[in-house]
Amino acid sequence: MSTEHGDGQYRRQLADAARFIREHDDFLVVSHIHPDGDAVGSTCAVGWILDQLGKRNMLCNEGAIPKKYRFLRRGDQIADYAGHRPDKMYRHVICVDCADYQRIGSIAEWIAEDAQIVNIDHHPTNDRYGAVHVVKEDAAATAELLFDLAEELALPLTAEMAECIYTGILTDTGGFRYANTSPRVMQIASRLLTYGISPGMLAEVLLEKTTFAHILLLKKALTTLSFTEDRRIAWVCAWKKDIEEAGAGNEDMDGLVNYPRNIEGVEVGLLFKQMSDREVKVSFRASSRVDVSRVAQQFGGGGHVRAAGATIRGDMDEVVARVVEATRLALP
């Protein structure tokens, strides 16, 4: 939404969200299951905003927050749904980085039927759920929108807030390497650096360091590396038994999809993660020639033009065959 009309609409959305936050209290802040850097950074950024305004709030996710994000302000305070039971139903909810309401998972059980929801997101597949939505499809990360929301609320940034926003932007742009790295992204990053954050440290913690479980799983996954006949599509599989033997969690699988994607001549890389005998999670990564969000949508998923995902019912071989064929048909 780079047109004048689109920018004006976005500013109105920010104003609506700011008004909602000022007028209400006692918020539940949630993001999507299996949170990534933008989800966690955005959750922490909303927590910072609410704290600055003196608003009561609870940060929560279905599943544990990956260890590498817990250094963020309140990153270690994001409750895991599995270990907490609130004594009330929440009527004011802020969802960040969730393209659709179902992506928050079982936390929906904590939300009252008449709850008012603020939906803040940057995914093109967002279905505009909620009483208020702030959706900017050309933003590199949801954290970018929270930078704008803090300005709309006239809240002076601190180093803690800058780290939260920078984390979301850094991870969702792949270290400023992806096509979504716009001039505005670099302008925001430059502003954030003035608050004293350490880009070298953040890059090392968020992008460079890897876990031992990741390496063990990578060894197994690369033995499954496969290609279509023209080598335009490549994929690897992470079987449930291999995931368990490696002791790998969701955070240990970060980046596996990039190995098939980064091979010369490959236009779409796929990672198939077996969650159970009848469920497979698929990650899509693409070059500039195909919109994988459309492929993911065919299977009930979504995401971005170059990075998307879906969880599909079926056994591994069946899901691989279906997804590879749908991807092949999507290639120009």
* Among 59, 76, 78, 58, residue whose Cα is nearest residue 67: 76
Q: What is the pLDDT of residue 250?
A: 86
Say yes or no to pLDDT of 249 above 50. Answer: yes
Among 1-10, 156-165, 245-254, 285-294, whose mean pLDDT is lowest?
Answer: 1-10
The closest of 148, 166, 264, 236 to 206, measured between CA atoms, is: 166
- Biggest alpha carbon–alpha carbon distance for the chain: 59
The domains found in the chain, sorted by start residue, are 4-208 (3.90.1640.10), 212-330 (3.10.310.30)
Task: With CA atoms as reference, report the closest residue to 145 among 170, 122, 162, 166.
Answer: 122
Pick the closest to residue 243 from 252, 233, 235, 234 (CA basis).
252
Give the mean model confidence (pLDDT) for residues 120-126. Answer: 94
Strands, sheet with 111-121, edge to edge from the N-terminal-most edge strand: 79-80, 57-61, 27-30, 90-96, 111-121, 132-135
Per-residue pLDDT tens for 52-78? 999 999 999 998 899 999 999 999 999
What residue type is 204 in one-letter code? Answer: E
- Alpha-carbon Rg for the chain, nearest whole angstrom, is 20
Q: What pLDDT score was predicted for residue 265?
A: 95
Average pLDDT over the chain reads: 94
Dump pLDDT digits (tens) for 298-329: 999 988 899 999 999 999 999 999 999 999 99
* Average pLDDT estimate for 287-299: 91
What is the DSSP track for 117-176? Answer: EEEEE--TT----SSEEEE-TT-S-HHHHHHHHHHHTTPPP-HHHHHHHHHHHHHHTTTT
By percentage, how much of the chain surpasses pLDDT 90? 89
